[in-house]
Chains A and B, each alone.
Chain A
Amino acid sequence: MQFFVSLCTFPILGAALTAGSARIEKVRRTIIIISWLQVISVAVLCLPVLLGNVSILQFTPDFAVDRIGAYFLMLTNFVCACSLSHAPTFFRNESLFAGKTVPPQHERMFYASASLFLLAMNFVFLSDNLGLLWVSIEATTLFSAGLVYFSRDKHALEATWKYLMICSVGIAFALLGTILIFASSQHGAIQGGSLNVRQLLGCAKQLEPKLLELGYIFCLLGYGTKAGIFPLHTWLPDAHSEAPAPASAMLSGALLNCALFAIWRITELVRLTEHHAICESVPIFWGALTALAAGLFLVHQYGIKRLWAYSSIENVGIMLVAIGLGSPLLFFLQALNHSVAKVALFLLSGNIIQYYKTKDLSQIRGLLQVSPTCGILFAICAAAVTGMPPFGAFIAEWLILAKSADATQGIAVGILLVALAISFVAVSIHVARVLWGTPKSEIALSGTFAKYLIPSLLCLCTIVLGLSALPLIMVKPI
C-alpha cells in the first residue's frame, strides 16, 4: 500500500500545486524538483526487482511490478522528468524568442495534465490486471489530449480531435479483445473467469483457444492504434507535431512504450498456449511492415517534428518485431535507446523551432553556423535514433535482426533491412540539410546554456548506452 502512496504522491502533488495560486516561476521550479524526486522514489521502491533479487513485487492481487515492468517504469519516469525539467526553460524562451506569450494558466494546465499523464502511465506498468491496464491506457489518452491541445490554435484542435477519435475507437477494440480473453478464461480454466495476469499465465494452457486468438487480434489492433502501427498511425504525426516540444518528447518517448507494453503483456500470455504461432508471426510481420511504411513516409517530410514522429513509428515497428520474437531484453533495449535519443531530439527541435520561428524543414538551414552546440547535439542524437554505430540503437537493431534470422523469419528480416536503410538515408539527408547550408534569415541567438542542459545529458546517456551495450554483440546473442 505504501508503494502506491509514494508512487502517486508526487504526480498528484504536482497536479495540485498547479491549481494553487503560486507564481508561475515557483511552479516551474517545484515541478522540476517534484519530477526528479519521483524518479528517485521509483528507483528506490523498485530496487529489489531491478537488481534481480525478487522477480516480482506484488502489492495487491491486481497490482504488481515484474522485472520488465520495473525497467519500463524507471524509463518512463526518467523521460518525463527530463521533459518536465526542460519545459520551464522552453516556456520561458517561448515568450523571449518566438514572440508567443504563453498565458500562465495554459502552462499550469500543461503541468497538471503532464502530472496526471505520468500517473496514468505509471499505472499501466503497475497493472497486473488486463482490465485495469485498459483503463490506464484510456486514461493516458484522455490526459494527453490536454497536452496536445496546448497551443489552442486551429491545427492543434484538429490534431487533438483526430487523436481522441482514432485512439478512442482503437482502444474500444482493445476492450473487446480484453473481454474475449476474459471469456476464454471462463471456459473451465478459472472459475468465474479472471483478468488477473498472474492467474491467466498460470493456467494458460486451459484457455479457450478460439476466443483467445480473437481476443489477441483485437487487442493487437486496439493497442496498436495507440502505439501507431501502420495503417492506424494517422493521428501520430499530427499529434506529435502540434504538441509543444516537451509534450512531444513525453508522447514519443513514454506513451508509445506504454501501448507496446500492453501488447507485450498479452503476447506473453498467448505465447504460453499451444497456439503461439499467431503471436509470433503476426507482430513480426506487422512490425516489419510498419517500419517499411514509416521509412517510405520519411522520404518526403516537410516538418521537423513530423520527421521525428515518423521515425517514432518506425521504431514502434522494430519494437513490435522484438515483441514478436519474445525477447524482453531486446524489446526494452530498443525502447530505451529510442526513448532517450528521441526525447533529446524533440527537445532540441523545440529549441530549433524557437530560433527559426518555423517548423518547416525547408526553412531551417545552417544550424551549425547558428548554434554549434545545438548542431552537434542534434547530429549526435539523430545518428543515435537512426541506428548508427556505435550507439545503442544499432546494437539493439542488430540483435533483433539476428534473432529474427535465427527464428527463420526471412521475409521480415528483408523488409526490416530495406526499411532501416531507407529511413537512415532519408533522415540523414534531412538532418544534413538542416545542419549545413546558410541560414535563410538573421537568427537572433541568446539565452543561457540551460536549454541545452537536458539534451546534452541525454546525449551523454545515448553514448554511454551505446558503449556499454557493445559487449552484447561480442557475446553470443540471446
Chain B
Amino acid sequence: MMSSIDLCVLCAAVLACLMVGSLHLRLNLWLYGAETLCIALATLFTAQSHSESGLIYIALLIAGLKAAGIPLFLGWTSEKLNVHRDVGAVIAPPLAMHLTIILLAFSFILTRGLPAPSMAASGWYGATAGISLLFTGLVVMLTRRLAIGQILGFLVIENGIYVFALTQTLGMPMLVEMGVLLDMLVGVMVSGLLVFRIQKSFEHIDVAQLTSLKE
C-alpha cells in the first residue's frame, strides 16, 4: 500500500528520469523545479502524518528556495550566457533515459535488502526514490558537458539524498537540515557565478574542454 508520501517521492524520481532524456536547458530546469516541488509536498505530508512542525518550515524553504529560486537563478544565468541546449556526452539522451529507468528498477531491488526504517512511515518506496534520484543525478552529470548541466546533476543528487533522509529517518535534526540547505545554496551561487567566468575566459562552458591541466 503506497501512502501519499511514497507517491510524491516516486513522482519526483520519475520526473528526474524524464529530465535525463532532453538536452533542452529550459525543460531540464522546469522538470527540476517540478520534482523539487513534489519533494516539498512529500515533506508536508510527512510533517502532517508524524506531526513534526519543523518539517513544515523545511518544506516551505524547499519549495521557495530550491524549487523556485534555483531554476530561476540558473535560467537567468543561461539567458545571460545565451546557452539553450546542452551538447551532451558519452551516451545519447534517449538511451540514457532508458538506462535511468532501468536503474530505477534496480534501486527498487537494491533497497529491499535494507532494514526497514523504524520511524518513518514509508516502506522501501522512499528509499527506492532516494537511491534512484542519486543514480539519476550521476547519469545527468555524466551525460552533460556544459557547466550548468553538471550543476543540475549535482542538485538532483542532493535531492536524492534528502529524500532518502526524509523517508528513512524523518529528516535530520533541524540545525543540520538548515546547514545542509545553506551549504547547497551557497554552492549553487558560487558555481553559477563561476560559470560566468568560465564563459568569459573560455568563450564556452564546455567542461569537457577544460583539460589543459593534465598529469
Contact = CB atoms under 8 A, between A and B. Distances in A.
Interface stretch (B10-18, B54-62, B75-83, B175-183): B175-183
A132 interface: yes
What interface size band does chain A fall in? 35 or more
A277 interface: no
Nearest to A177: B161
A161 B147 contact: yes
Interface in B48-91: none
A145 B201 CA distance: 17
Interface stretch (A6-14, A39-47, A168-176, A448-456): A168-176
Interface of A: 62, 129, 131-132, 134-135, 138-139, 141-142, 145, 149, 152-155, 157-162, 164-165, 168-169, 172, 175-176, 178-179, 182-183, 186-188, 192-193, 195, 208, 210-211, 237-238, 241-242, 297, 300
B169 A182 contact: yes
A164 B179 contact: no
Nearest to A159: B213
Contact of B176 (A129, A153, A210, A242): A129
29 contacts: A131-B172, A131-B180, A132-B175, A134-B176, A134-B179, A134-B180, A141-B187, A142-B190, A145-B194, A155-B212, A158-B210, A160-B194, A161-B207, A162-B213, A164-B194, A165-B154, A165-B191, A169-B141, A169-B154, A172-B157, A175-B180, A179-B165, A186-B169, A187-B118, A192-B119, A211-B115, A237-B213, A237-B215, A300-B215
The 4 closest A-B pairs by CB, nearest first: A131-B176, A135-B179, A138-B183, A158-B210
Contacts, number: 117
B106 interface: no
Given A157-B202, A169-B141, 11 more contacts: A129-B176, A141-B187, A142-B187, A145-B194, A157-B197, A161-B207, A161-B210, A164-B194, A186-B169, A192-B119, A210-B114
Interface residues of B, number: 39
Contacts of A154: 201-202, 212
Nearest to A191: B119
Output the residue of A160, A168, A210 with the most chain B CB within 10 A: A168
Contacts of B190: 142, 145, 164
B168 interface: yes
Given A176-B134, A210-B114, A297 B215 contact: yes
Contact of A62 (B134, B175, B180): B175
Contact of A183 (B169, B210, B213): B169
Contacts of A132: 175-176, 179
Interface in B141-171: 141, 147, 150, 154, 157-158, 161, 164-165, 168-169
B94 interface: no
B150 to A, nearest CB: 6
Contacts of A161: 147, 194, 198, 207, 210
A168 B187 contact: yes
A168 B180 CA distance: 12
A195 B172 contact: yes
Contacts of B118: 186-188
Contacts of A237: 213, 215
Contact of B183 (A142, A193, A195, A238): A142
